[in-house]
Amino acid sequence: MTLNKENRTELNEFGEFGLINHLTKNIKIKNLSTIKGVGDDAAVIENKDKVTLVSTDLLIEGVHFDLTYTPLKHLGYKAVVVNISDIVAMNGKANQITVSISVSSRFSVEAIEEMYSGILLACEKYDVDLVGGDTTSSVSGLYLSITVIGEADTEKIVYRNTAKEGDLLVVTGDLGAAYTGLLLLEREKQVFKANPDMQPDLEGYDYIVGRQLKPEARTDIQKVLEGIEVLPTSMIDISDGLASEILHVCTGSELGCTIYEEKIPLDPTTINAATEFSIDPTTCALNGGEDYELLFTVSHNDYEKIKDVMGLSVIGHMTGKDTGTNLISGSGTSVPIKAQGWDALR
């Protein structure tokens, strides 16, 4: 087909997930071993009494990270963690990764070694093997792509599109910290650009800066849920903001939901930083992204098991599709949930 202005569609008209849906809508699975293809946190492939999980993330300098304030060691560590988080979101265990990089001549061997030290540190922490990859040159900075391979028990794997009406919506940890950390780093970058002699003022904000630069995958939650004998009915990791992930669960499960603003967990440092930037802290949680916490649903019958577990917050419940997706504000007003967080193509 000849491309011209008449039949040209701009990428931002679709957005990241719209483009993915458009490009993959006609894909037909041919192999019986392919249980789940595009559309979840990881692909699922049959492997005897278990299933193999595969997920890939591509990080691009200037789009996903800024080396002005991102140490290369932190970048390598984070790149591994965000992939492992996808496997955790399927209730699986990551076993191997491959690493592919594309670098320009402005990077030295020592710089790449520093990035790999972060990659290897994450592999050590999460008991993952680096088993291969590729390296090539770039004319425009640094590209880092990691593929993670994991596994899950056939009976315990959890998808994002299997929630049931009446299920409780639960999140781990606290939300919005990574986004406020990013705002702080961007502010200090502008100060540095205006006056290179100025040192960054990050005192008192170690927590939110750490959440941005060095997130952790919530592998611990799997052990907690197993200990209290709770298997989520659906699950997803919070990479693009709570609102976006809730809509993924609702759309995939063909349901609606109601969540309560007062139930969304926020760290005091996040609240203080958001206030400093004149932003509603709830907005940071809903639309900030990169927290890499887990959002999952459980049967309402499991409420007694989870209600007192530290680090788990019940924020709402799943409803019929016709009710829509709604946030009940602190004042009692019902507001439709909209995804306004990270979208790679907007």
Tokens standing for residue 181: 């950390």
User: With a threshold of 0.95, does the pTM exceed it?
Assistant: no
Residue 199 or residue 261, greater confidence: 261
* Mean pLDDT of the chain, nearest integer: 89
Place domain 51-153 in its CATH homologous superfamily. PurM-like, N-terminal domain (3.30.1330.10)
Residue 49 pLDDT > 90, yes or no?
A: no
- Among 8-12, 139-143, 198-202, top mean pLDDT goes to 139-143
Do 51-153 and 168-336 show the same overall fold?
no
CA distance 139 to 103: 8
Other beta carbons within 10 Å of 37: 14
Mean pLDDT over 104-126 rounds to 89
pLDDT of residue 136: 82
Fold of the domain built from segment(s) 168-336:
Phosphoribosyl-aminoimidazole Synthetase; Chain A, domain 2 (3.90.650)
**What are the boundaries of each domain within the chain?**
51-153, 168-336
What element of type H or E holds 177? helix 177-194
Q: Is residue 121 classed exposed, middle or buried when 0-12, 13-18 and 19+ CB atoms within 10 A define those classes?
A: middle
Q: Lay out the sheet containing 293-298: strands in order across.
A: 234-238, 293-298, 168-172, 312-319, 256-260, 325-328, 334-336
CA distance 101 to 60: 10
Q: What is the pLDDT of residues 170-218, one digit of tens each?
A: 999 999 999 999 999 999 999 888 888 777 778 889 999 999 999 999 9
